[in-house]
């Protein structure tokens, strides 16, 4: 389902490196994920980080002392703010350029396709989807596959092998 509302998507680059997606690409991918879910709009910050920053975040928030590809931080509404403000901020996503590049190479994936997948994956987490249980994972993966297909990107879970 598509509502084609435009979200406010802020892009932050904490690093400078070859192979990073452009602001336009990051915005396109995040907006595609939002458009796939009815009534999904709001503000998202996408932050492109290095392995050290994502390791520190992963350690602080998940108790895991290693870098990871993507971390999503859904906005939690402080008490006392008006209900109308609840839909204004969806949250923040940290994308680790180092891990995404390594995974792309290890998994024989086109780098921009893997970036798109990680952005879509992160946005779906902000929208309340997860992959902890098998049924939840199947739902989330199907959404990811459909969103990526709408962008002309092949299914990241069933790529042909060489």
Tell me the DSSP string of 31-100: HHHHHTSTT--SEEEEEEE-HHHHHHHHHHHHS--S--SEEEEE--PPTTS-GGGTTTEEEEEEEEHHHH
In this prediction, residue 18 carries a pLDDT of: 85
Level-2 CATH architecture, domain 8-74+87-150: 3-Layer(aba) Sandwich (3.40)
Over residues 21-51, the pLDDT tens digits come to 999 999 999 999 998 886 667 889 999 999 9
Q: Model pTM?
A: 0.89
For residue 65, is pLDDT > 90? yes
Q: Which long-range contacts (CB under 8 A, 24 or more apart) does 8-11 make?
A: 8/42, 8/43, 8/44, 9/43, 9/44, 9/45, 9/46, 10/43, 10/44, 10/45, 10/46, 11/45, 11/46, 11/48
Residue carrying structure tokens 């928030």: 61
Q: Where are the domains of the chain?
A: 8-74+87-150
């Amino acid at each position: 389902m598509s509502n084609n509302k435009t979200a406010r998507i802020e892009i932050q680059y904490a690093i400078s490196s070859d192979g990073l997606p452009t602001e336009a690409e990051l915005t396109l991918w995040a907006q595609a994920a939002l458009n796939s879910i009815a009534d999904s709009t709001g503000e998202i910050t996408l932050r492109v980080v290095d392995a050290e920053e994502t390791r520190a975040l992963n350690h602080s928030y998940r108790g895991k002392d290693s870098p990871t590809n993507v971390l999503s931080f859904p906005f939690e509404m402080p008490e006392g703010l008006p209900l109308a403000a609840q839909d204004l901020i969806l949250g923040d996503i940290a994308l680790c350029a180092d891990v995404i590049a390594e995974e792309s190479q290890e998994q024989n994936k086109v780098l921009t396709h893997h970036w798109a997948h990680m952005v879509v994956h992160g946005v779906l987490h902000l929208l309340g989807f997860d992959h902890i249980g098998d049924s939840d994972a199947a739902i989330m993966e199907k959404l990811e596959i459909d969103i990526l297909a709408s962008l002309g990107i092949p299914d990241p879970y069933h790529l042909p092998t060489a």
